[in-house]
Structure 1
Amino acid sequence: MLFALLCTDKPGGLQLRLDTRPDHLAYLNDLNAKGILKIAGPFLGEDGKPTGTMAIVKAETLEEAKAISEADPYAKAGLFSNVEIKAYNWVINNPEA
């Protein structure tokens, strides 16, 4: 099952995001190597700077998706003001369909 992780940065979190980015990317690369991560990237503000993160992950349950989200170095560093996790059905352009 797929889940969308919709994460909103705290106001003024850009420096924390930049400082934590190498660990965050290493975490995502590990998820990708394990076949868990399907897509990921930042939301951008009008100024083109990151304001949050969206990731699609493969997990058996909502609880597992939540654990994946909570293990992200950005989450551990306290970057996010809000995280929403929703079941997701990848219909168009899904390479596994």
Structure 2
Amino acid sequence: MLYMFHCTDKAGAAEIRQTNRAAHLAYLEASAARIFAAGPLLSDDGQGMVGSLLVVECADAAEAQRFADEDPYARAGLFESVVIRPWRRVYPKG
């Protein structure tokens, strides 16, 4: 099942994001076969990163939570909140 992860950075946490970005990207790369989509949420002006949005194949909610918890960004304390929800693709049809 696909799960959506909506992660919001803590205010003023740009340095935490930058410091842990390489480890976060390596973590995603190691799971690339099960990632449907992933990328940063941007500030209103489109210039800064303020969170993350991912859609990842996970067996169940417990596995989705483990995936979120093991993200280097989460381990570094970057996120103010993380919302995880089952997700179904409707469009584009595929």
Give your verdict on TM over 0.5.
Answer: yes
Matches within 5 A, 1:49-68: 49-68=48-67
The TM-score, its normalising length taken from structure 1, stands at: 0.91
Whole-angstrom distance in 1 between the partners of 2:40 and 2:2: 19
Corresponding residue SS for 2:82:
strand
* Counterpart residue identity of residue 92, structure 2: N
**Structure-2 residue corresponding to 1:76:** 75
Backbone CA RMSD of aligned residues? 1.0
Whole-angstrom distance in 2 between the partners of 1:77 and 1:40: 19
* 5+ long unaligned stretches in structure 2: none
* Counterpart residue identity of residue 86, structure 1: R
Deviation at residue 24 of structure 1 after TM alignment: 0.3
**Structure-2 residue corresponding to 1:41:** 39
Matches within 5 A, 1:2-13: 2-13=2-13
* Counterpart residue identity of residue 38, structure 2: A
The runs of at least 4 aligned residues of structure 1 exceeding 4 Å deviation read: none
* 5+ long unaligned stretches in structure 1: none
Deviations 1:10-67 (A, max 9, x none): 00010110110000000001110xx221110011112320000000000111111010
The TM-score, its normalising length taken from structure 2, stands at: 0.94
Give the number of equivalent residue pairs. Answer: 93
Corresponding residue SS for 1:87:
strand
* Counterpart residue identity of residue 5, structure 1: F
**Structure-1 residue corresponding to 2:23:** 23
* Counterpart residue identity of residue 41, structure 1: G
